[in-house]
Structure 1
Amino acid sequence: MPGAVFMQFKIFALTLAAYLPLITCGVQAKNLTIVDPAGKPVVNAVVSVTSDSTPSAGTAVMDQVDKQFVPHVLAVPAGTSVTFPNSDNIRHHVYSFSQAKPFEIKLYSGWSADPVEFDKPGIVALGCNIHDQMIGYVYVYENARVFITGNDGSVVIPDGVQSVTLWHPELDIVQSRQETVSLDESAGSETLTLTLKAAIPAEPVKKSRTFGSKKFGN
């Protein structure tokens, strides 16, 4: 599907942009792996490194494929406009009640929805008013460099970082909870253990639930 292909290219471009400064500036890098208490890789863990500046805001894509938000976790600097294409052959109704960015995009398909600007830092849980199993997250940050673990649970961060802040959808039911962990600056690679507890709900709504003065589903 064209939308899904474009989304995959966008994710690749964003990932390359995150690593490019480490390559072009000759900065030594460190491999950081996040595992659970059983030693299994933790996928979609957000690793944040404090920075004096925030990457320039631009555009990003959160697709909907096979009734799932893709990627499951999207990290963007504050001020980024995110497009929510619907690559399924059914309509979706995207919404969030999160304090950082409450919004809704009523029933639609394709690329017809206007981009949503995420102007404040915070964690935004997404849902679909039609398909309750659809849950995704937008991690909005500032004054940081942010990386997301892949299937192997690892990311590459700048060498010499003293500590990182970790977040994951299943870290805690409290949406804003994050963990700051000290690192061994002398180690070229390091493994951290993250105990996961509960998924953050997107607060699936009933037909009587309202958003502002309008009911969902109208």
Structure 2
Amino acid sequence: MGSKGIKKFIPLVGAMIAAIGLPASATEIVVHNADGEPMSGMVVYLQADATNQATKVDTIREPIEIHQYNKQFTPYITVIQKGYQLQFINDDDITHHIYSASGPKRFSFKLKKDNAQKQMLFDETGHISMGCNIHDWMSGHVLVVDTPHFGVTDEQGTVNLEQVADGHYQVVIWHPQLLSQDNIATSVGQWPLTQAMTISVAAPMADIPTQQSLDDFEFLEGY
């Protein structure tokens, strides 16, 4: 290698070493129960501290879908940012009559069979539980949050929250079957994270209701 090649090579090596030495910002939050087992299907979202001057980063999202499939709400839990839309889609070959059982958004509408759809704007925060007037075992939940930083844990109890502005945040963990006040557990964290954040939830979980009919009877009169 000539002297010119060596001169070009040395700065490149220096750049590589500098890049390797840079601390990486972690994006993972891991949720465990009191026994150290991963908790899947848990909503995790961040709330900025009152003294946090970090600006929120809004992400443009397509309408989030809730399907009615095999006489179940899919997914069972949906989390959405305030001011965004949900789209209800009936994938079954029967009619559903969706309604809100509780929460800040009250609604009741029919969805005819074969991909009938209805889109709704959710402009108030809070928990909305849903049911079906025809199939009374169906239950689903919507959580509307006032933050763009949210997600649902996977089978390993992990959720990735990216593009979080630097600052101090309250980390909120929510599930309708979490047996605690307001169905939440909280922790605090300082961003950027230097490593994955692990949170242990002490409160027990109730069983998720069975999403299945006890018989094959269908009451469809008037629908």
Is 1:87 paired with 2:84?
Answer: no
2:185 corresponding residue in structure 1: 179
Q: Secondary structure at the match of 1:42?
A: coil
1:43 corresponding residue in structure 2: 40
* 1:1-218 paired onto structure 2 within 5 Å: 28-51=25-48, 52-53=55-56, 54-56=58-60, 58-106=62-110, 108-158=112-162, 162-172=169-179, 176-183=182-189, 188-194=195-201, 195-198=203-206
List gaps (5 residues or longer) in structure 1: 1-26, 202-216
Q: Secondary structure at the match of 1:95?
A: strand
Deviations 1:64-106 (A, max 9, x none): 1222211121111112221111112222111113231111122
Call closer, same or farther: CA 1:66–1:30 in 2, change over 3 Å. Answer: same
Bigger mean CA offset, 109-118 vs 89-98: 109-118
CA distance in 1, matches of 2:206, 2:104: 20
CA distance in 2, matches of 1:200, 1:95: 19
Bigger mean CA offset, 153-162 vs 95-104: 153-162
1:5 corresponding residue in structure 2: none
Which structure is larger by alpha-carbon Rg, 1 or 2? 2
Displacement after TM superposition at 1:57 (Å)? 6.2
With normalisation by structure 1, the TM-score equals: 0.68
Q: Secondary structure at the match of 2:118?
A: coil
Call closer, same or farther: CA 1:96–1:58 in 2, change over 3 Å. Answer: same
Decide whether the 8 Å contact of 2:65 with 2:89 is kept in 1: yes
CA distance in 2, matches of 1:130, 1:44: 26
> How many residues end up aligned between the 2 structures?
177
CA distance in 2, matches of 1:58, 1:108: 23
Identity of aligned residues (%): 29
CA distance in 1, matches of 2:43, 2:199: 13
List gaps (5 residues or longer) in structure 2: 1-23, 49-54, 210-221
2:21 corresponding residue in structure 1: none
Displacement after TM superposition at 1:200 (Å)? 8.7
Displacement after TM superposition at 1:173 (Å)? 7.4
Read off the aligned partner of 2:204 and give its amino acid letter: L
